[in-house]
Structure 1
Amino acid sequence: MSLYAQYAALLDGVLDDLVADGTLPPELDRKNVTVEPPRDPSHGDLATNAAMVLAKPAGTNPRVLAEAIKPKLQALPPVASVEVAGPGFINLRLSPDAWRDELRTIVRDGEKYGLSKIGANERVNVEYVSANPTGPMHVGHCRGAVVGDSLARLLEAAGFRVTKEYYVNDAGAQVDTLARSVHLRYREALGEEIGEIGEGFYPGDYLKPVGTLLAAEYGDKFVDAPETEWLAPFREAAIKAMLDLIRHDLGLLDIHHDKFSSEAELQASGSVTRAMEVLREKGLVYEGELERPKSIDPHDEWEPVELTLFRSTQFGDDQDRPMKKSDGSWTYFGSDAAYHWEKAQSADHLVNIWGADHAGTVKRVQSAVKALTDGRVDLDVKIVNMVRLFRAGEPVKMSKRAGDFVTLADVVNEVGKDVVRFMMLTKRADTPLDFDFAKVLEASKDNPVFYVQYAHARISSLKRKAADAGVNLSEHPDLALLDDEELALVRRAAQYPRAIESAAMAHEPHRIAFFLYDLAAEFHALWNRGNDDPSRRFLLENNPQLSRARLELALGIAQIIRSGLGLMGVTATEEMR
């Protein structure tokens, strides 16, 4: 249990006492009562809004209620002082012993420090990447992959049961185009001069190995054969090869999905039909015509077509959405509705990580999930914005191998997995991110990857030096020797469990990167004070007891940095090179 959760429980006991003595009525709703760090650290160590939240339903004044709560909190042994501020906020200051105990907990719990049960073992399906299987991962996919994988790690740390899923869009026209592009490479592998790849085909060199394999398997059997004979086997072979390539590229980032779901298999299984029947039984599907699209010029001819429509406007969408086209084939939305319905059978929550080009479809899919599950399952969609690549300030040219984009593999191979994963989380997912190959390798405070890794490397070096200097690492440190500045670092570190919970519940893994940067900054500031005053250094030649206490502090900080980096999928560096 985190320090903040401990004090929330203590506060709950105080409120129980006030109910028992008649100050508060029973059965008050306390779910919005919080215990958290005050926005201004000068106000104290902890703050609670209990009086502000409970006063009105209790029929009293917030400040009067705060004054009733104050002495009971003041009586708790770790509490040094309690102040009522403003209209009724309550600020607490803890004794130094509370922070010394928290440091002991950090070191003792190790990698378990910060883990939470807030998820209550509920099931969460996190779908991410889900790129069309038509080529290698590009840098845009990379960001979504890191956000999704890091979120899955966060949710597990917060006590959820997580399934990591990739939805393979293998039922549309794009996979037929892929098969035709592979057929060109197949003919090329057999010695035919195919010339420049024309418009409407995938031009990347990554399809050459697929063509070579098919040439070895079939010989010239399909060179002059009609498309109807070779399209299906070439499509199947191409999709398999592309998924192998995708899995390989994701593996470079240590990303591995639990499940790959096929859109083609979904449609073939009849799941889309069943989903539409369920909606029709609810009166949410009908045959009708859409209004004239605003994108069509008013002077142009346009004939309305009868379509199978879902009443998504009943769920807040701006118009009803077609599930089936006039030719009887399913729309993307029809398949998406069925896919999410299928996922919802084994999940309590659904989370999708989508590119910005899918932002316009969020409302309709959320409407379908709500309708199909009767509101039992919620869908949260996190939009991932574009990544702009630079090299020393200049835009990076496209990849020849990929044809028209820079591949994920190119980026990882140049700067490494850890740099890529960390940088992809240095901004909110829905804001554009600039990735400069030169800057991400800079050894400076302005490079967050370096700054956080350097803090961990410094502590690793400190531990080695302490061992060389004969500091007894098995000896219990006297933490009473730590001063106020050092205990302030513990206060920052103690917010790590809250950072995990808040990031997990908000589905925002970038919050961990922000927390680690702030923690590293405070550690570096503490370290640097020894540059001007040798007595403030972590290791003191003639004071082994103080050295041991400061080393314990450093080891606690290193543990949290390792843990936080692990949630981001980043390996903590032992030594900077």
Structure 2
Amino acid sequence: MADTTASPHLFADMLTRVHAICAAVAAEDNWPAGIDLSRVVVEPPRDASHGDMATNAAMVLAKDAKAKPRELADKIAERLRADALVASVDVAGPGFINLTLKPQVWADALRAVLAAGSAYGRSGIGGDEKVNVEYVSANPTGPMHVGHCRGAVFGDALCSLLQFAGFDVCREYYINDAGAQVDVLARSAFLRYREALGEEIGAIPEGLYPGDYLVPVGEALAKEHGDKLLTMPEAAWLPVVRDKAIAMMMEMIKGDLAALNIHHDVFFSERSLITSGNNKVAETIDFLRAKGDIYEGRLPPPKGKPVEDYEDREQSLFRATAYGDDVDRPLIKSDGSYTYFASDIANHRYKFERGFTNLIDVFGADHGGYIKRMQAAVKAVSAGKAVLDVKIVQLVKLLRDGEPVKMSKRSGEFVTLREVVDEVGSDAVRFMMLFRKNDAVLDFDLAKVIEQSKDNAVFYVQYGHARGHSIFRNAREEAVPDLPETDEARLAYLRNAAVERLTDPAELDLLKRLALYPRMIEAAAIAHEPHRIAFYLYDLASEFHALWTKGRDLPYLRFIINNDAEITRARLAMVQGVVSVLASGLAVLGVQAPTEMR
């Protein structure tokens, strides 16, 4: 059973101390009541030469305190200098306060890692708040491609990050099974059905899906129905073929996701909104109309590129502009069917009814224009009680040795997710899909992600974890024969190590990096940015490898000193801290932490 206890947090501790000092200054100087201290932060300074931590307290409170920022900073700094953790305080520029902490703080920070073990970095900031994260949601018309892969990995890592930060997360996949594209899928599958019955179908007609992945669907239909479907009009066979094709496509998609160890809690069908005997789209439209959010009107012609749901006629329009959108939006097409947006509104209203007020949608690169209308819709259906954050996942450029990879034979149109996972492995795919901010285009080079070099981030981080375990093995052979092999036993064994003997600047830098982990987790969770973990792990691994290399040149810095058992145990404790945090961060990203590299 996983340990869910939140671990100690040095930055949160210092923030509490800064808040207490600000409150004391407020009382002494008779500040107005109710000044908001939530704007005060304690964070690492951008320039490490400025100290270990910095606070903006004087900058954000000066106006309320009716004081000059620099003068207020001097008052706060004076009290901070008396704090037991603080070695020195400097006031910089107009009022920034930079803190340098005592070396003992970093030894205690390592002890906190050893004490918490696998729970180190776990946070309670989520307060068990329910969060719905909708991600992937690829149309069920074929296998997943590399673009879907990035959104799948991002969404899954974000869910794990939020859970680690104390949120109650629901992983949701919205199946787009009610639009015209699934009718095209059915017609494409019907062609393969005819082929399975022995008919020569020739080239796949333009507008249908050409991939070989529909051959098994045709064969399954032939086995189940024989040639009966051939005698039916399209109106009769199309729903039968469509349901079978969607079911088989979803099984394929779930298999593709499983190859990346991605599993959703909920697969929600768009079609179920209108075919379950309780038409939630109509119900939602009636709800919005009753509160004055829908009216009959005409839209001006769209500027720039054409809009897929624009029609020059009087129609039912959602007052999206009343909730922050740029234009009001149509809900019902001229043929009486619902727009995609109408179904999406009903879907998000249903999420709200299920108790979710914290909603996150992960969209592909071509859905940037959809953000404002969906946020407007969520405001309308929840009376402002729910908040929707939309994360755009940009395109992936698939390369091999710098050259673009050609499309897949299997799909006929693109390189599939499964082909990439089969070639380079799930770990490389997951880590490298997160080793860039989600809204930046990603170059994914199939050759480079399997290189064993510092330039390959996933290898470098996993090698850091494996190197730590190699050090443990060497220590058992050379100096500490009773060093336990299991993580829990080793943590207990090293908790009493004399870690205050870790005084070299490179050692202290490594301890400072470990102390930053819980704050990084919280900041990444609040910002919905799991890439921060990948960046952090690479930096941690880099500092660890650099210290190991330094020990080769300077023998007194080696991790194992045969004639000094105390410093050896202290450095093994430091290695354990690195190993624990690397394993923790990799687990959040869904990447393995190997104990040796082959």
TM-score under structure 2 normalisation? 0.93
CA contact (8 A) 1:306 1:326 kept: no
Shift of 1:199: 1.2
1:53 aligns with 2:70: no
Share of identical aligned residues, percent? 56
The 5 A counterparts of 1:29-40 are: 29-40=36-47
CA contact (8 A) 1:125 1:350 kept: yes
Q: Deviations over 1:176-234 (max 9, x none)?
A: 11111111111211222112211121111111111111111111111232212211111
CA contact (8 A) 1:351 1:379 kept: yes
Q: Distance in 2 between matches of 1:305 and 1:200?
A: 28
Q: Deviations over 1:525-567 (max 9, x none)?
A: 1111122122221112222221111111111011111111111
Question: Please, what is the CA RMSD of the aligned residues?
Answer: 1.7
Of 17, 25, 44 in structure 1, the residue corresponding to residue 51 of structure 2 is 44
Q: Distance in 1 between matches of 2:282 and 2:368?
A: 25
The 5 A counterparts of 1:188-227 are: 188-227=195-234
Q: 1:411 to 1:296 in 2, by over 3 A?
A: closer
Shift of 1:295: 5.8
Equivalence for 2:524: 503
Q: Gaps spanning 5+ residues in structure 2: where? A: 1-7, 484-492
Instruction: Tell which deviates more after alignment, 541-550 or 155-164.
Output: 541-550
Q: Distance in 2 between matches of 1:232 and 1:40?
A: 63
Q: Secondary structure at the match of 1:222?
A: helix
Equivalence for 2:28: 21
Shift of 1:169: 0.5
Q: Distance in 1 between matches of 2:561 and 2:447?
A: 38
Q: Distance in 2 between matches of 1:435 and 1:350?
A: 29
Q: Distance in 2 between matches of 1:308 and 1:540?
A: 78
Q: Distance in 1 between matches of 2:339 and 2:28?
A: 63
1:291 aligns with 2:312: no
1:531 aligns with 2:531: no
1:432 aligns with 2:432: no
Q: Aligned letter for 1:517? A: Y
Q: Distance in 2 between matches of 1:81 and 1:455?
A: 33
Equivalence for 2:5: none
1:491 aligns with 2:491: no
Instruction: Tell which deviates more after alignment, 350-359 or 478-487.
Output: 478-487
1:187 aligns with 2:194: yes
Shift of 1:318: 2.2
Q: Distance in 2 between matches of 1:200 and 1:506?
A: 41
Q: Distance in 2 between matches of 1:384 and 1:27?
A: 40
Shift of 1:283: 1.4
Shift of 1:27: 2.2
1:315 aligns with 2:315: no
Instruction: Tell which deviates more after alignment, 413-422 or 25-34.
Output: 25-34
Q: Secondary structure at the match of 1:75?
A: coil
Instruction: Tell which deviates more after alignment, 97-106 or 355-364.
Output: 355-364
Equivalence for 1:111: 118
1:361 aligns with 2:370: yes
Q: 1:232 to 1:43 in 2, by over 3 A?
A: same
Q: Distance in 1 between matches of 2:568 and 2:532?
A: 32
Q: Deviations over 1:409-460 (max 9, x none)?
A: 1000111100000010111111111111111111111111111111111111
Instruction: Tell which deviates more after alignment, 17-26 or 345-354.
Output: 17-26
Q: Secondary structure at the match of 1:21?
A: helix
Q: Aligned letter for 1:305? A: R
Q: Distance in 1 between matches of 2:513 and 2:311?
A: 64
Q: Distance in 1 between matches of 2:139 and 2:403?
A: 29
TM-score under structure 1 normalisation? 0.96
Q: Aligned letter for 1:537? A: R
Q: Following superposition, which runs of at least 4 residues in structure 1 exceed 3 angstroms of deviation?
A: 19-26, 293-297
Shift of 1:22: 4.0
Q: Deviations over 1:262-287 (max 9, x none)?
A: 11111223111111112112212111
The 5 A counterparts of 1:327-406 are: 327-345=335-353, 346-406=355-415
The 5 A counterparts of 1:232-271 are: 232-268=239-275, 269-271=278-280
Q: Aligned letter for 2:280? A: S
Q: Secondary structure at the match of 1:458?
A: helix
Equivalence for 1:544: 565
Q: Gaps spanning 5+ residues in structure 1: where? A: none
Q: Distance in 1 between matches of 2:393 and 2:528?
A: 12
Q: Distance in 2 between matches of 1:69 and 1:433?
A: 44
